[in-house]
Structure formats: structure tokens, C-alpha cells
């Protein structure tokens, strides 16, 4: 499948593929193997999913597979505050309308961007996560190294809360606008809900799916830079069972 590079860095199993499409298919095949393994062991599988343009080869490949969807609960990793559930710009609707909506899944759980009490909404979603221990977490890196919306200015490797409210970093705003999700900064919310770093990496299995040249620096820093909140994605080097998939562009700054 045109594997360009394979190595292990600080326990992270790293695969680099020639193209975005091949990377996504390889990551989906790997995720499917984990799901099938879990399905043979348990009646319920809890899966954390991100949504962004970087997942647009992984998610179609995964959702096209014949998997035990009836056992799978989907949880989303972040959501904008201030957008109604039926707003097409919500991360919830992008995931439902473009990917998982037609699957016969067991359950799908999202955060309410118009919750009257955002802190109470964090507690509600945290209770759901506590009741459904995460089996598999799919992660993507932001241009600034964020995971979900754990921005460098507010990321915490020891965050005491499972879910929190953050103000969105200007780099992340530019990333979302460049991807076509919003017209400009005035069109985009300033705040979001996010699962915290400890929550994201608490899953039994972790898969990172990270393509595109604009992710080259954050990909390099996550694997080869100092481990710390300045690059939130570097937390993947502190936990077991992490497999990371890159394309040749996002791996462009990798040594050797």
C-alpha cells in the first residue's frame, strides 16, 4: 500500500504513506482490525471521532466497511459554542451528514453548542463518557499541535476535568477558515467545548491520522520535539498503544 516509512518513536508506532488516500485507507484498515477484535470480546464499543478535512480519506474508508456498527457508540471530541444543533457548520452535523449518519450504530452522543449552562453541559457529557469507557480514540493534529480544541495556551496534560470550555486559538481559526468551514473570523465562534487531553488519550487504543503539508511542523514537534503543552499532540508519547498515520507531506520534516 505504498508504505514510505515505518518506525517507532517513544513507543508510538509510526507509518508514513505516499498519499493522503493511502494513508486514510491504511488507518481505516487498522481501526477496523481493532473494532473486530473488540467486537469479539464485548457487546459495546465506544469510539471517539474527530471531524476535519484531514479525516476525509480515513472516515469514508472506515464507514464503507462491513463492521459491527450495531455495537458501536460514537462520541465526538469537540464542538463550537454558539451554533444550533441543526446549523450545518457544527462539527456534529458534518460528522452525521457526511459520514456516520446512515450507519446502524448503537448510539451517537454530541455536545450542545446552545446549552444554557455550558459548564453543566461539560458535566453532562463527562458523565456520558464515564458511563461508556472509551475503547478507541481517533486523533488529528491541528496546525498548532492541538488535539481536539486543546490549544497550546490552554492545554494541560494533567487536566482535572474530562470536558472543558476553551477560547479558540487564532491559528486554529485560520485553519478552519482555510478549510472552508467559515467565511472569516467574524463568522466563526470564539469558544468551543473540548474533551481534555487526559480524556482523549485514556482510550485503550489510540490512532492518529495526520495528513497535509500544513501539519508538517506540528507532526514533527509531536514526535521529535519536547514533550509538553507547547505542542499538545506530544502527549501521545506518554501513553501506550498509539499508532500514528501520516502522508508524505505531513511527514516532510521527519528526520531520515
Res. 182 pLDDT band, cuts 50 70 90: confident
- Please tell me the distance from the alpha carbon of residue 21 to that of residue 219, in angstroms, as a whole number: 18
* Residue-averaged pLDDT of the chain: 94
**CB-based contacts of 133, cutoff 8 Å, min separation 6:** 46
* Model confidence at 181: pLDDT above 80: no
Query: Which residue ranges form the domains of the chain, and what is each CATH number?
Result: 3-247 (3.40.50.1360)
How do residues 63-115 score in pLDDT, each as one tens digit? 999 999 999 999 999 999 998 888 888 899 999 999 999 999 999 999 999 99
Burial class from Cβ neighbours inside 10 Å (0-12, 13-18, 19+) for residue 166 reads: buried
Q: Summarize the confidence of residues 120-148 as an average pLDDT.
A: 97
* Model confidence at 179: pLDDT above 70: no
| Alpha carbon 207 to chain centroid, angstroms | 9
* Model confidence at 1: pLDDT above 60: no
Per the model's pLDDT, the better-predicted residue between 136 and 177 turns out to be 136
Q: Which of 2-6, 166-170, 186-190, 223-227 has the lowest mean pLDDT?
A: 186-190
The secondary element (H helix, E strand) that includes residue 109 is strand 107-109
Amino acid at each position: 500500500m505504498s508504505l514510505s516509512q515505518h518506525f517507532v518513536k517513544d513507543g508510538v508506532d509510526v507509518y508514513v504513506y505516499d498519499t493522503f488516500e493511502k494513508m486514510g485507507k491504511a488507518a481505516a484498515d487498522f481501526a477496523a482490525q481493532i473494532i473486530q477484535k473488540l467486537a469479539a470480546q464485548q457487546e459495546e464499543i465506544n469510539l471517539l471521532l474527530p471531524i476535519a478535512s484531514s479525516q476525509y480519506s480515513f472516515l469514508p474508508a472506515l464507514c464503507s466497511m462491513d463492521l459491527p456498527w450495531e455495537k458501536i457508540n460514537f462520541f465526538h471530541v469537540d464542538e463550537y459554542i454558539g451554533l444550533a444543533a441543526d446549523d450545518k457548520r457544527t462539527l456534529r452535523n458534518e460528522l452525521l451528514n457526511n459520514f456516520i449518519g446512515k450507519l446502524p450504530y448503537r448510539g451517537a452522543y454530541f455536545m450542545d453548542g446552545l446549552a444554557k449552562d455550558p459548564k453543566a453541559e461539560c458535566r453532562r457529557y463527562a458523565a456520558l463518557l464515564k458511563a461508556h469507557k472509551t475503547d478507541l480514540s481517533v486523533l488529528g493534529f491541528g496546525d498548532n499541535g492541538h488535539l481536539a480544541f486543546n490549544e497550546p495556551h490552554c492545554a494541560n496534560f494533567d487536566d482535572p476535568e474530562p470536558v472543558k470550555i476553551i477560547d479558540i486559538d487564532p491559528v486554529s481559526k485560520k485553519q478552519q477558515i482555510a478549510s472552508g468551514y467559515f467565511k472569516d473570523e467574524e463568522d466563526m465562534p470564539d469558544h468551543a467545548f473540548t474533551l481534555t487531553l487526559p480524556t482523549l488519550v485514556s482510550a485503550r487504543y489510540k490512532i492518529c491520522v495526520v495528513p497535509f503539508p500544513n501539519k508538517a511542523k506540528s507532526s514533527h514537534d509531536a514526535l521529535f520535539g519536547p514533550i509538553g503543552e507547547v505542542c499538545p499532540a506530544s502527549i501521545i508519547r506518554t501513553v501506550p498503544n498509539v499508532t500514528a498515520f501520516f502522508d508524505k507531506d505531513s511527514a516532510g520534516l521527519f528526520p531520515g
